Structure 1
């Protein structure tokens, strides 16, 4: 009887875990990345502040590190004309549509101990992920029109 009970508990735990797609994604995202470029779906010059932190120019060339086993990470702004240094965050990958494999990437800035001071996070679309490249998209509304930022990473 005890073995049957343990079997059902094990099945319950496994069925509540993240999907295989999310587990594979966490394995791929693990490690160090560089944010090479930020592009827009519309032409023009825009004054964009990303993650309530810094401008597009400051973020381009930043280095990112992801530790999926505890859903933490850090990014470092390297541009000397910006407020440089390391920033910490926690993240979650959520599968939005099992058929298409689309994801949401939730990122919450934190302090060094991974505690959020504002409890504010950002929802990004993880639109592409491979062993060498990753693309995040963030949709915002500009003057009543949809506007999409594309953040293009490469793995180090």
Structure 2
């Protein structure tokens, strides 16, 4: 009897202490439905943007993302984006994405691989969601201090 009680207590402790990750959370379907469709990044803002270069999503300078087109399909959590700034190298890729219950946008860039083979991705906060605009907010380390990089999305018709 003592073993059973100890086993139950230990099991409860293990389950209760299980860490939360951005990818094992429930999905926020309501917000996903609001941002489905075609979008364009109209601005990328962060303190010191005049002097600090930020490489977004390990792909290109953050300024190259201004004018990029994004498509989000909410029923299968697929989509794509394309960088098309004339002063930057053109780039297009499929993605998988979802928004978890903590309000975080979780994305994997697929390139040529299937989603289950891609082991890394990006987690950004979702902010100021309306029918026509929303923001993704990334945190970067600048001189030992966390700084917000805000991607402003506007809905395309």
Relative to the length of structure 2, the TM-score reads 0.76
- Runs of 5+ consecutive residues of structure 2 not aligned to the other structure: 1-24
- After superposition, what is the alpha-carbon deviation per residue over 1:24-70, rounded to whole angstroms, capped at 9, x for unaligned? 21111110000000001456421111011111121110000001111
List structure 1 runs of 4+ shifted beyond 3 angstroms.
41-44, 112-118
- After superposition, what is the alpha-carbon deviation per residue over 1:90-144, rounded to whole angstroms, capped at 9, x for unaligned? 1110111xxxxxx001111002564366521011000121100010101122111
Aligned residues between the structures: 132
User: 2:36, 2:49 → 1: CA distance?
Assistant: 33
Relative to the length of structure 1, the TM-score reads 0.76
The 5-angstrom pairing of residues 3-152 of structure 1 reads: 18=26, 22-42=28-48, 44-96=50-102, 103-111=103-111, 114-115=114-115, 118-152=118-152
- Runs of 5+ consecutive residues of structure 1 not aligned to the other structure: 1-16, 97-102
Question: Would you tell me which structure has more strand in proportion to its own residues?
Answer: 1
**Pairwise CA RMSD:** 2.0
**What secondary structure, in the 3-state scheme, does the structure 2 residue paired with 1:82 have?**
coil
Larger Rg: 2
